[in-house]
Amino acid sequence: MTDHRANQVNDKPLLPVLTTIFKHELMTAFQNRQQLVNPLIFFVLVLLLFPLGVDPSPQFLSAAAPGLIWVAVLLSSMLSLGTLFKDDLQDGSLEQWLVCGQPLYFLVLFKTIVHWLYTGLPIVLFSPLLALMLHFPMDNYSVLVLSLLLGSPVIALLGGIGAALTVSLRSGGILVSLLILPLTIPVLIFGTGMVLASIDGVPFMGQLALLASLFFLALTLCPLASAAALKMSVLNS
């Protein structure tokens, strides 16, 4: 299978190669259903159990909902980041990426986008339903979803750097969380602040602009860092 994918990469221009990698990774994700559903299950359980361990009153849950949802999204996203490039290293695909002549930046970017599609996007889609259980104001659902659509890909892109640095280590998952969690604090602050400002009825365009800036910076710079880390990890493995 590795030789077949390598021939596909070498014989095609960039766009068909990216399309092939996109489809292959998405198919692999759906075949490995455990990896697909674990982050979503963790996200749901955190939000379901939180009212049982603290004050279940509507006033408290409504005030805590924005921060709780964002923390749950952050922790759920960390579950599968450690395995982002593991399969590619084991089947030899990473070595083929390095010698295929195609820009590693785009290959890593597409790989990370697919990862977000099957781990981050379901969480974003389920968040309004669980927010209803937490008495989140319905008028602010669109702001909540917008903040997650901008912020959760940043977490995945940052996680790609940690996954690339630890891809050759057996206990990479724990190290990825330790490396990446401090970098995600601005995303957590601006994402939660944007939702809270919307609930309070004050302008939130400042937080939105900062969150969008983080998104575009991560989209531009994180794949470069991940590609460099993959080169070092593959050469040293």
Least confident of 35-44, 70-79, 194-203: 35-44
Averaged pLDDT for residues 90-114: 84
DSSP code of residue 136: -
- The pTM is what? 0.88
Q: 201-220: per-residue pLDDT in tens? A: 999 999 999 999 999 999 99
Q: Which of 209, 195, 194, 116 is nearest to 154 (CA)?
A: 116
What pLDDT is stored for residue 171 in this prediction?
67
What pLDDT is stored for residue 12 in this prediction?
57
What pLDDT is stored for residue 231 in this prediction?
87
CA quadruple 109, 115, 118, 121: dihedral, nearest 10: -60
Q: Is the pLDDT of residue 11 over 80?
A: no
Q: 153-169: per-residue pLDDT in tens? A: 999 999 999 989 888 77
Integer Cα distance of 41 and 139 in angstroms: 26
What pLDDT is stored for residue 90 in this prediction?
78
CA 130 to chain centre: 19
- Name the token pair of 119: 């781990």
Averaged pLDDT for residues 8-27: 68
Neighbouring C-beta atoms of residue 71, cutoff 10 Å: 16
Integer Cα distance of 164 and 85 in angstroms: 7
What pLDDT is stored for residue 118 in this prediction?
86
Averaged pLDDT for residues 185-199: 95
- Name the token pair of 142: 């669109």
What pLDDT is stored for residue 7 in this prediction?
46
Any residues with CB less than 8 A from the CB of 93 and at least 6 apart, and which? 2, 5, 6, 87
**Residue recorded with tokens 């982002």:** 84
User: Angle formed by the axes of helices 141-165 and 185-200, to 10°?
Assistant: 180
Integer Cα distance of 74 and 170 in angstroms: 23
Q: Is the dihedral of CA 138, 192, 50, 155 positive or negative?
A: positive
Distances (CA, A) of 168 to 17, 49, 69, 159, 208: 25, 35, 32, 15, 37
- How sure is the predictor about 5, in pLDDT bands with cuts at 50, 70 and 90? very low
Integer Cα distance of 189 and 145 in angstroms: 16
Highest mean pLDDT among 9-13, 49-53, 100-104: 49-53
Q: What is the mean pLDDT of the chain?
A: 86
